[in-house]
Each structure stands twice: as C-alpha cells, then as structure tokens.
Amino acid sequence: MKFSNHGNIDIHWTNNILVCRPTGAINLEGAEGMVALIEEKISGKNFKQWSRIEILDDQEVLGTPDAHKILKQHIESTVNNGCVFIALVKESPLNAYIFKEICQSLKIPVKSFSSEAIAIDYINQTYRE
C-alpha cells in the first residue's frame, strides 16, 4: 500500500554548502520525495567537495524506520558524490543520535552547532576548497 508524502523540506545552496531544513513527521514516501529533491539540487553542481547543513529546529521531525533506512542510503550517496562534512543545527537528542550513528558508520565527519551562521563559519574555515 502506498501512502501520501508526509514531511517537507526547504533546500538551498550557500556557495558549496547545501542547507536542508526538514519539517514535520516524515514517512517513507516523504523521505523518498525529499531524497529526490536533494539529489536534483546536487546533480547540477561540480564541486570537488561540498558540505551539508541539516537544520533540525522542528522538534517534531521524526521519521519512520523505513525513512531512516532511506536516510542512510541517501547520506551514503551524498558522500559518494563529494560531501565531506555534515553539520547538525538545533537538533533534538534523538535526531542527533540518528544522524551521528549514520555518519559514523559511513566515516563522514559530523558536528553539532547552535546556529546556521556558526556552522557556515566552521565549514568555511575547516573545509576550504
């Protein structure tokens, strides 16, 4: 049985930093739709390396187990396409745990920040091309 998409995402580039802000409860169909949008944003870029910021300030953002599986596959794909760092901003303890477990299993650096501006400054100082 196929369900309607649940969850939304705002995506934009700031130089070579992809900024993602998911909101709402995310189901499998919502996760698949978000992955498609993100991959579309990535496909036209030719960065040697890039970073990603996940702004998780919606404390209701939580995915189903199927959505978490899609997230891991997606993060692996982004690493294979040049992503070298993931910043987490204003995440809940559960979201931090989920992202950090995925990133550690894929050996991609991940770090938490209190604001998008601080995360961008860190990335610009640490991951210059």
Specify the CATH number of the domain 8-126: 3.30.750.24
Query: What pLDDT was estimated at residue 3?
Result: 61
Distance CA 5, CA 27 (A): 7
Nearest 5 degrees, angle CA 13-CA 106-CA 6?
Answer: 55
Query: What pLDDT was estimated at residue 5?
Result: 64
Q: Decide: 50 and 39 in contact? Cβ < 8 Å.
A: no
Dihedral sign from CA coordinates of 19, 44, 51, 27:
positive
Q: Which residues of the chain have pLDDT under 70?
A: 1-6, 59-63, 129
